[in-house]
């Protein structure tokens, strides 16, 4: 089960707490929150404000930031971005991590890359978007962090677009819950993508 499927499975509990079973309060998770989706209020928290390593849930902010840029007219879903050798090595098959299966010099569109990020949790797709938008993944992560702070997600410090291990790469569970709420509220046109369970690129 991908990180996105796990997130969707938890959505009814996190976003509609009135229907959540009581046993969720006894969760063994180190970090957890129950949020009222309508108001954004945190109704229950276990280390919810403590910065943690978000791993692939970083991709929630990567996608949100790209949605922002599309909304602002900075890029379009049809724009093409070139797969660099570095993106392939660090996020593609050679990396041994979750990948969309891109190859060097391919030119996927922003829409295809977003599907790769959201459905396949593709690290290569994240890096290609980062390089295509900001010139480097480091610059993209800085811009993404600044945007998160503008949204009120004050615990955020991102050093990459993928969630792969990086020193100081953190966010709190409460801020992740708020980011999920903002994604649903501000970009409902993309929400169905999070319900898709498969996407094929180049036969992969």
> Which of the residues are catalytic?
56, 59, 121
Q: State how far the Cα of 198 lies from the Cα of 148, in Å rounded to an integer.
A: 28
What are the backbone dihedrals phi and psi of residue 16, each rounded to the nearest 5 degrees, phi first? -130, 70
Please tell me the distance from the alpha carbon of residue 29 to that of residue 34, in angstroms, as a whole number. Answer: 13
Q: What is the 3-state secondary structure (H, E, C) of 162-196?
A: CCCCCCCCEECHHHHHHHHHHHHHHCHHHHHHHHC
CA distances from 41 to 33, 87, 183 (A): 10, 38, 16
CA-to-CA dists, residue 103 to 3, 6, 23, 100, angstroms: 23, 28, 45, 9
């Amino acid at each position: 089960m991908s990180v996105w499927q796990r997130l969707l499975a938890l959505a009814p509990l996190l976003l509609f707490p009135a229907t959540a079973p009581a046993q969720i309060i006894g969760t063994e998770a180190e970090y957890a929150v129950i949020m009222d989706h309508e108001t954004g209020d945190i109704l229950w928290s276990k280390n919810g404000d403590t910065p943690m390593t978000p791993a692939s849930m970083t991709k929630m902010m990567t996608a949100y930031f790209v949605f922002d840029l599309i909304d602002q007219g900075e890029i379009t879903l049809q724009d093409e971005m070139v797969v660099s050798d570095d993106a392939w090595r660090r996020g593609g098959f050679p990396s041994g991590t979750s990948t969309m299966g891109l190859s060097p010099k391919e030119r996927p569109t922003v829409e295809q890359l977003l599907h790769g990020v959201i459905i396949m949790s593709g690290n290569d797709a994240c890096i290609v978007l980062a390089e295509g938008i900001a010139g480097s993944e480091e610059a993209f992560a800085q811009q993404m962090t600044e945007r998160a702070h503008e949204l009120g997600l004050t615990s955020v410090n991102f050093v990459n677009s993928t969630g792969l291990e990086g020193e100081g790469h953190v966010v709190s569970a409460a801020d992740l819950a708020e980011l999920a709420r903002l994604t649903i509220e501000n970009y409902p046109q993309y929400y169905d993508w999070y319900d898709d369970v498969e996407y094929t690129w180049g036969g992969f």
